[in-house]
Structure formats: structure tokens, C-alpha cells
Amino acid sequence: MTTDEATDTDTRRAVLDAAAELIASGGTAALTTRAVAAKASIQPPTLYRIFGDKRGLLDAVAQDRLARFVTEKEAHPPHPDPIEDLRQGWSRYVAFGLENPDVFAIMNEIGSPLAQSPASLAGMAALRRRVSRIARAGRLRVAEERAVALIHASAVGIVTTF
């Protein structure tokens, strides 16, 4: 990695962290170019160079937070009981959504490119593994893909409702 690439990576991380803090404290309305640049100690044009526009920054923040969440969630060893494992995964997902409502809303916008992001795909793969364990234990009464879709839709609905 060159010095310029390392600097860009460090700057990107600083911007994502600053933007996430602003969103957490004041919602997406608090995410202004001036506020992010000041919090990240950069010049405003750097934001446009790295993220393109505000939408690009919002998507990058949501992707970053989702990736962190999935990594943390997958660090937990599976519970021996596949139903309890699903419950624990559900609880972590709902807690993440309630703790990060603006990021969760960005992640779940209809037509969002984040639905096909690496973090989103990894999260869905984790859900599929949990559901597959339940099916292998003979405790699933519907097709696995239908169960995955129902569980995901229910979790998004619960967080959105709350």
C-alpha cells in the first residue's frame, strides 16, 4: 500500500466515523458537508472526492456500520440449539436496528444498492445458515428460502415499527 493509499484509507475511516457519530446524535439531517469535514478534520472537497455526494456518503456509512455489525454478530459461536441460535441472532439484529435507526433506514430503503453489498449478503448468508441448521434438525415447517424471507421481513418490520 502506498502512502497516498494509506492516507486515503485513514481519511475514509475518519470521515465514516465522524459521519456515523453525527447521524447517531442528530439523524441524517445533522450530516452536512461542513459538519463532517470539521469533525473529521478535513477539507470539504475531500468528501466529494471520496464519496461523490451526500447519498454516496450515507450509503458508505450504512455499509460500514452493517459490515461491523455482521462481523461482530458472526464472532459469536453458534448456540447448540438452532432455535436459540436464531433467537440470539434476531435479538442482535433488532438491537442493532433500534440503536442505529437512521443507518437501519438507509440500509432498508426500497431499491437500495446496499441490499447487494458484501455486508448485506454476508448477513443474509448468516441467516440462511441459521435457518438451515433448524431445517437439518427437522424443526422447520416451510421451505428454507421462504423462512429466510419471512424472518428477514419480520425483523425489518419490527425495527421499523418500533
pLDDT score recorded for residue 2: 57
DSSP state of 52: S
57 neighbors 15 (Cβ within 8 angstroms): yes
pLDDT score recorded for residue 113: 76
Q: What is the mean pLDDT of each run of 10 residues along the chain (162 residues)?
A: 64 94 91 93 92 90 90 90 96 95 86 80 93 97 97 95 93
pTM of the model: 0.84
Among residues 54, 72, 159, which one has the least CA distance to residue 108?
159
Among residues 151, 95, 13, 110, which one has the least CA distance to residue 21?
13
pLDDT score recorded for residue 107: 85
